[in-house]
Amino acid sequence: MGFFGTYLFNGHRWTAHHPAEQPIIPEPWLLVDIHDSDIATITYRPPGSGSGVAYLGDTPRTYFENPDASAPTDAAREAAGLGAWWAHQHGRSSGTEREAKEADLAAYLAEDLNPADIDLDHDDDDDDDDEDLDDAEVFVEVKTARFLAALDLPVPDDLPR
């Protein structure tokens, strides 16, 4: 069994949160919902130019191999939205700083993959590939901790660092 956890950042600190409930607190806030070490759903307000929802690890459409599992993902749009969220949260007004942060955050975000492009039959005889994987490529909770650090936020105590 993988890691599960839902955390709400209220602009100042993290609290545990119920995964099925949208926050009813003043903006800005950020909600992280980690599902089975494979998907982290990042919901953020205000959304800026993004939709307000981004994914780390896999998108639901890719993970469940179902186009109805989530709306199509546009990682560049969400990176821009999260960059605006970061700028708002940290009182940054420089477009150059925000653009640099967007580029940094984009590296963490998942995009929809075509199921035909996913290699589910990786060769068990080639253990060198597994040894070369970074923990953040295997465990979305590790990637989430690094993503939150890139947002210049504290990391919830439950997440590995």
- Give the pTM: 0.86
What sign does the CA torsion over 130, 40, 150, 78 have?
Answer: positive
> How, if at all, do strands 14-16 and 5-9 pair?
antiparallel
Q: State how far the Cα of 52 lies from the Cα of 80, in Å rounded to an integer.
A: 10
pLDDT given at position 123: 45
Which of these ranges, 71-85, 113-127, 135-149, has the smallest mean pLDDT? 113-127
Radius of gyration of the chain (CA): 16
Percent of the chain at pLDDT above 90? 74
Partner residues linked to 54 by β-bridges? 42
22 has a pLDDT exceeding 70:
yes
- What's the full length of the chain, in residues? 161
- As given in the structure block, the two tokens for residue 19 are 């995964």
List, in sequence order, every beta strand (DSSP E) within 47-127.
53-57
More confident residue, 134 or 102: 102
Q: State how far the Cα of 109 lies from the Cα of 74, in Å rounded to an integer.
A: 9
- Helix (H) or strand (E) holding 106, with range, is helix 95-106
More confident residue, 55 or 135: 55
Top mean pLDDT of 20-24, 91-95, 100-104, 129-133 is at 100-104
122 has a pLDDT exceeding 60:
no
Q: Per-residue pLDDT averaged across 90-101, rounded?
A: 91
- Helix (H) or strand (E) holding 93, with range, is none
Q: Per-residue pLDDT averaged across 67-96, rounded?
A: 94
Q: Per-residue pLDDT averaged across 11-39, rounded?
A: 94
- As given in the structure block, the two tokens for residue 106 are 């984009």
Alpha carbon separation from 73 to 56, 76, 113, 122 (Å, rounded): 11, 9, 10, 26
Q: 21 φ, ψ to 5°?
A: -110, 130
